[in-house]
Amino acid sequence: MLDARLLHYFLVVAREQNMTRAAAELHIAQPTLSAQIAQLEKQLGLKLFTRTNKNTILTEDGVMFRARAQELMELMNKVENEFSIGDGDISGDVYFGAAETHIMSYVSEVFRSIQKEYPNVRFHIYSGDAQAILERLDKGLLDIGLLLGTDHQDKYDYTPLGRYDTWGLLVPDDCKIAGKDAVTVDELPALPLLLSNQYMASERHLFLPDGKKQKVVGSYNLITNATYMVEQGLGYALCLADLVNTEGRSLRFIPIVTNVKTESYIVTKKYAYFSKAAKLLLKKLNV
């Protein structure tokens, strides 16, 4: 079984890329740290580092193991926090994953109402697309997820929030369609689109009229960096309303005229264990 102490040592060395600096940070002797890393490598049967005169560099196996070690440490910290809670007031940490959506404004109001009553509850937000959030739910790194659309999988429970998002285009304010109040689905195939990974993974068929293909010029993960691509005229970002503050920027959001509504869902892993704080959040969200 892997020792949490060895994982911590490994992650510090991986970050510092220098055994001497890592040993100083950990307040142990450098030979002791080297021996501990060698013990971990022997236990795993892997060479994790390549050592030079000045640096300690991760091998390809080391890079892969670092990702797993970070996840293990997060999970161990989460479990420790959950079981350190006594029988008194509700307290502790809730790990919440969310796709990009203005509905997080509502969820944050619920967070705040809980903290007013239980000030020792802490909320930790992870933002990402559906695949990333489901993976973290699987590994126990998240308690609850907020996802969009209906791409349901059997091993999760999906509860609709009764709240919806509006699709549209984020465009430069000097482009040929900037003066429109709305665009139709039929206009989309002729426009240069930047699509989110979230859309491509679960909503790719929403805006394909009569089997026509979209003109995809690029993609993005989260909308913040995509706004700069839009400002430079690289394309129009297909995104949800109310995610970008266009005030003072050369941007405009134009809604798409469509009957399609994208509903938000609270997602949890089936038969999952929930801390008192996480149970309270689900209750407040009417889940």
Res 206: pLDDT: 63
Whether residue 270 sits in one domain with residue 149 = yes
Q: Are residues 139 and 271 in the same domain?
A: yes
Mean model confidence pLDDT for the chain: 86
| Number of compact structural domains in the chain | 3
Stated as kind and residue range, the H or E segment containing 195 is strand 192-196
61, 79, 97: which is the final residue of a domain?
79
Question: Which two tokens mark 140?
Answer: 């126990």
Mean pLDDT, residues 238-265: 88
pTM metric for this prediction: 0.66
For residue 216, what are the CA distances in angstroms to 104, 197, 236?
Answer: 28, 12, 9
pLDDT at 168: 92
Whether residues 49 and 127 share a domain: the answer is: no
For the beta carbon of residue 123, count every other beta carbon within 10 angstroms: 17
Assess whether 175 and 227 both reside in one domain.
yes
- Asked if pLDDT for residue 85 goes beyond 80, the answer is no
For the segment 101-128, the average pLDDT, to the nearest whole number, is: 94
Residue 176 has pLDDT above 90, yes or no: yes
**Predicted local confidence at residue 96, as pLDDT:** 97
Same domain, 207 and 270: no
Q: Is the pLDDT of residue 204 over 80?
A: no
Residue 271 has pLDDT above 90, yes or no: no
Residue 90: predicted pLDDT: 86
Q: Are residues 185 and 235 in the same domain?
A: yes
Q: Which residues contact 145 (CB under 8 A, 6 or more apart)?
A: 96, 97, 98, 133, 134, 136, 137, 266, 267, 268
144 vs 71, residue with greater confidence: 144
Q: Where residue 209 falls among pLDDT bands split at 50, 70, 90?
A: low
Q: What is the pLDDT of residue 84?
A: 58
Spatial contact of 3 and 73, defined as CB atoms under 8 Å apart = no
CA-based nearest residue to 106, from 264, 232, 273: 264
- Residue 172 shares a structural domain with residue 250: yes
Q: Are residues 25 and 159 in the same domain?
A: no
Q: Which of 47, 79, 111 is the last residue of a domain?
A: 79
What's residue 207's pLDDT?
64
Statement to judge: residues 44 and 172 lie in one domain? no
The verdict on 230 and 182 lying in the same domain is: yes
Q: What is the DSSP string of 114-128?
A: HHHH-TTEEEEEEE-
Q: What is the mean pLDDT of residues 36-51?
A: 92
When pLDDT is cut at 50, 70 and 90, the band that residue 182 belongs to is very high
CA distance 133 to 129: 6
**Has residue 260 got a pLDDT over 70?**
no
235 with 162: CB under 8 angstroms? no
CATH label of the domain that carries residue 95: 3.40.190.10
Region 256-270 average pLDDT: 84
Q: Is the pLDDT of residue 88 over 70?
A: no
Residue 258: the pLDDT is 79
- pLDDT of 120-163, one tens digit each? 999 999 998 888 898 898 888 899 999 987 666 778 889 999 89
Domain residues for the domain of 118 are 83-164+264-284
**211 with 232, same domain?**
yes
Residue 233 has pLDDT above 90, yes or no: yes
Residues 251 and 135 in one domain: no
Instruction: Return the minimum-mean-pLDDT range out of 5-9, 183-187, 257-261.
Output: 257-261
Which of 79, 107, 135 is at the close of a domain?
A: 79
Question: Which residues are within 8 A (CB) of 244 and not within 5 positions of it... i.e. 6 or more apart?
Answer: 170, 223, 227, 251, 253
Tell me what percent of the residues of the chain surpass a pLDDT of 90: 48
Stretch 179-198: mean pLDDT: 89
Of the pLDDT bands very low, low, confident and very high (cuts 50, 70, 90), residue 202 is low
pLDDT above 90 (res 194): yes
Question: What CATH code is carried by the domain that includes residue 54?
Answer: 1.10.10.10
